[in-house]
């Protein structure tokens, strides 16, 4: 389970610096390889986890509602050569037919593409999202990354304006967490999926699957946006839109999105007080994510903590709300102590 620990600590480390996803779309590197990048000694356990995910997806595939089908698709995505009825495409296509599907299913469909052919993100899904969620900055930042990659400068500028004037930022990771957290309880994990060196048992297995698979969901290219704003500092109109976007991101669903928003405010604002406020908020965000990483490590050896984190994931909301609710549940302050410095990320 150490791979999951590295993942959560790496996220905390990423938030501590102005660096974001390097590609226009983070999912463009292909499907996830499973909930863990396990060492050779864990090969059998990883194989057992993937078989468990296949069994869960098979049970959920019998459902007709959008959320369990979304959960089935996320569970099935890392599987090698699944039967057609359990393919990522087939399960999402069924989910999308439901009236309750919504943009969360379409967002997951962005990853239903051929990365080797340069066909990511899924163009049809992106076009649908622009109609389903036109007031979501995440949609326009995703399109911004694609247009920038294709050299469509005018469209990139228009995308930034649409994102800046959007009402919300939501990359639907909270919806994926909820779908997965509700899905993994459909069957008990087999004993060979447990890590014998850790004591969280079934809840620990479920937690690793839920948070590991959810973290592999599509994400806009934040680095492209940061670079575009940085490269156009001399354009007052661009700077104005970047600062408007910063406000949307700061109150959005994603820790990484919030980090970008704070970075934009800190580097583009001409007000010293605004710069310092953003810097302080950014440090607090790193603190929050490192405390959340700490809880995840704790949960791998403690059944009660694992169950609590799963319960919070099932409650819905956003990724950011799950993080903050987890800290509140364990009495951890949301603000870093005076003089605190971020811990270095494990390699």
Residue 314 has pLDDT above 60, yes or no: yes
H or E element, residue 164: helix 153-164
Range of lowest pLDDT (162-166, 184-188, 214-218, 248-252): 214-218
What pLDDT does 46 receive?
Answer: 86
What pLDDT does 63 receive?
Answer: 95
What pLDDT does 197 receive?
Answer: 67
Quote the CA–CA distance of 142 and 123 in Å, as a whole number.
11
- pLDDT tens string 200-246: 889 999 999 999 999 888 889 899 999 999 999 999 999 999 999 99
What pLDDT does 339 receive?
Answer: 84
What pLDDT does 343 receive?
Answer: 67
- Model pTM score: 0.86
Quote the CA–CA distance of 239 and 245 in Å, as a whole number.
10
CB contact at 8 A, 245 and 258: no
Please measure the distance between the N-terminal and C-terminal CA atoms of the chain and give it in whole angstroms.
Answer: 15
DSSP-based helix, strand, coil % in the chain, nearest 5: 65, 0, 35
Pairwise pLDDT comparison (128 vs 3), residue with the higher score: 128
- pLDDT tens string 11-50: 434 444 333 333 344 443 334 444 444 454 467 888 999 9
- pLDDT tens string 112-124: 999 888 889 999 9
Give the residue-averaged pLDDT of 113-140.
95
Residue 198 has pLDDT above 90, yes or no: no
Pairwise pLDDT comparison (279 vs 198), residue with the higher score: 279
What pLDDT does 3 receive?
Answer: 36
Quote the CA–CA distance of 121 and 246 in Å, as a whole number.
24
How much is the mean pLDDT over the chain?
87
Minimal CA–CA distance to 167: which of 251, 83, 106? 251
What pLDDT does 169 receive?
Answer: 98
- pLDDT tens string 272-288: 999 999 999 999 999 99
- Sign (positive or negative) of CA dihedral 132, 229, 158, 277: positive
- pLDDT tens string 240-271: 999 999 999 999 999 999 999 999 999 999 99
Minimal CA–CA distance to 216: which of 89, 84, 78? 78
What pLDDT does 342 receive?
Answer: 81
What pLDDT does 42 receive?
Answer: 64
């Amino acid at each position: 389970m150490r791979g999951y620990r590295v993942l959560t600590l790496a996220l905390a480390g990423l938030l501590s610096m102005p660096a974001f996803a390097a590609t226009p779309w983070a999912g463009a590197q292909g499907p996830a390889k499973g909930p863990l990048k396990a060492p050779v000694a864990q090969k059998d356990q990883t194989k057992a986890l993937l078989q468990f995910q296949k069994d869960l997806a098979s049970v959920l595939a019998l459902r007709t509602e959008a959320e369990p089908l979304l959960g089935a698709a996320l569970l099935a995505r890392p599987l090698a050569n699944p039967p057609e009825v359990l393919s990522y495409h087939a399960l999402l296509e069924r989910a999308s037919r439901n009236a309750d599907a919504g943009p969360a299913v379409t967002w997951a469909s962005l990853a239903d593409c051929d990365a080797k052919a340069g066909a990511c993100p899924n163009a049809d899904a992106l076009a649908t999202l622009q109609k389903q969620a036109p007031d979501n900055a995440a949609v326009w930042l995703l399109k911004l990354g694609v247009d920038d990659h294709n050299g469509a400068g005018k469209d990139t500028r228009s995308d930034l304006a649409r994102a800046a004037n959007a009402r919300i930022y939501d990359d639907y990771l909270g919806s994926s967490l909820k779908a997965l957290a509700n899905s993994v309880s459909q069957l008990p994990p087999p004993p060979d999926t447990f890590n014998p060196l850790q004591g969280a048992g079934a809840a620990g297995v479920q937690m690793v699957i839920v948070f590991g698979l959810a973290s592999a969901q599509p994400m806009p290219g934040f680095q492209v946006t940061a670079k575009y704003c940085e490269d156009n500092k001399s354009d007052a109109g661009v700077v104005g839109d970047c600062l408007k976007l910063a406000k949307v991101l700061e109150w959005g669903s994603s820790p990484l999105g919030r980090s970008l928003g704070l970075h934009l405010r800190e580097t583009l604002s001409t007000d010293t007080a605004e710069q310092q406020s953003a810097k302080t908020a950014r440090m607090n965000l790193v603190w929050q994510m490192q405390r959340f990483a700490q809880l995840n490590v704790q949960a791998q050896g403690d059944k009660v903590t694992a169950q609590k984190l799963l319960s919070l994931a099932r409650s819905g909301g956003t990724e950011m709300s799950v993080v903050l609710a987890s800290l509140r549940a364990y009495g951890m302050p949301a603000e870093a102590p005076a003089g605190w410095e971020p811990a270095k990320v494990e390699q």
